[in-house]
Every structure is written in C-alpha cells, then in structure tokens.
Structure 1
Amino acid sequence: MTVESQARVTLVNKWGLHARASFRLASMAMTYESRIIVEKEGSAADAKKMDELLLLIAQAGDTLMIKAIGPDGPEAVENLASLIQSGFAEG
C-alpha cells in the first residue's frame, strides 16, 4: 500500500542544513523504504542524498516541507520532522 505523508518544519539549529545536519538527515532517510523529498521555496532534494540536501542552502529559520510516498511514509515524515525540530541534537 502506498501512503503519501507530509509535514512542514522550521530549521531551528544555528547553522541550518549544513554538512553534519545533512548527513544525519540523509542517514535517517535511508532507513526507510519510502521515497522522501525535502522542499525549500520551490527547490527539491532527495532526502537520501546528502549532496542534494546541501544544495538547498537551507538556513536557520527557513521552512522545509518533507514529503514521503511509500508504505512507511508517515513514520518517515514524523521521525525526520522530529530530527529537524530537535535542531539535529546539536548542543
């Protein structure tokens, strides 16, 4: 069964979607079967590809849309949104 899910989140960490944050996001996304896309102001990136995430040039305060299509889409969106909202657990 294919499920589509989405969530809008704001980047709260000081440096935005930098290399370490992109790595964490992509690493978590790769644990899901669903196709996951992160969008920022009309630009889109495959959440499983760190290089594409970096090209979004997302900064603190930017709003991202996470979309997932697949059997574990709702779980993927919920967990990725939580990771972003936690500031990627950066102290």
Structure 2
Amino acid sequence: MRKEYKKRVTLINKWGLHAKTAFAFAKEAMKYESVITVEKDGKSADGKRMDDLLMLCAEYSDTLVITATGEDGEKALSGLAMVVSSGFGEE
C-alpha cells in the first residue's frame, strides 16, 4: 500500500499561482516519484503539470491542500511547502 501525506499551505506571494510560480511548483514536484495532487475549493490538479495548476485560479492568501502519495511523499511535501512558504522567491 502506498503512503499518502497531506499538507495545507497558504499562498503568500502577491499574485498567487501564475505561469512562473506554477512552473516553479511543478518543477519541484517533478523531483519526486510520488504522485502529487493539489486541491483548492473542491478542484484538483496534478502538481506536476503547470497547466493543471493554473486551472486552480489560486490567488494570494488562498489555502491549498497538497497530497503526495508514494514512498518519498513526506520529502515531497517538505520540498513543496518550502517553495510555497518562500513565496516562490517573489517579493
């Protein structure tokens, strides 16, 4: 049975998920074997696909639920949460 890990994160960067930040998230997610899913307001996206992430229309202060399913899921959540909590390097 594959392990599933979940974490809630809040977008702190001014513009939320846009092309640059969605790319940064997907790039980090692709480092891991785990299946990464991101949810917002009942919508779900593949965390490794930038276009899926953009469809969430996530804005500043929105809360996302990241789910990582797989052996490296805990490590994946840690890395992804760090990217989000850093504001994707934006001011």
TM-score by length of 2: 0.96
Partners of 2:31 and 2:2 in 1: CA distance: 17
Q: CA deviation at 1:82?
A: 1.2
Query: Residue in 2 aligned with 1:44?
Result: 44
Segments of 5+ residues of structure 1 without an aligned counterpart are: none
Identity %: 54
TM-score by length of 1: 0.96
Query: Residue in 2 aligned with 1:67?
Result: 67
Partners of 1:78 and 1:29 in 2: CA distance: 11
Partners of 1:72 and 1:3 in 2: CA distance: 9
Query: How do 1:71-90 and structure 2 match up within 5 A?
Result: 71-90=71-90
Q: CA deviation at 1:21?
A: 0.2
Query: Residue in 2 aligned with 1:16?
Result: 16
Matched residue type, 1:4? E
Query: What's the RMSD between the two structures over aligned residues?
Result: 0.9
Q: CA deviation at 1:2?
A: 2.3
Aligned partner of residue 22 in structure 1, secondary structure: helix
Q: CA deviation at 1:3?
A: 1.6
Q: Deviations over 1:44-80 (max 9, x none)?
A: 0000000000000000010000001001000001110
Query: Residue in 2 aligned with 1:54?
Result: 54
4+ residue runs of structure 1 moved beyond 4 angstroms?
A: none
Matched residue type, 1:63? T
Query: Residue in 2 aligned with 1:2?
Result: 2
Partners of 2:73 and 2:14 in 1: CA distance: 28
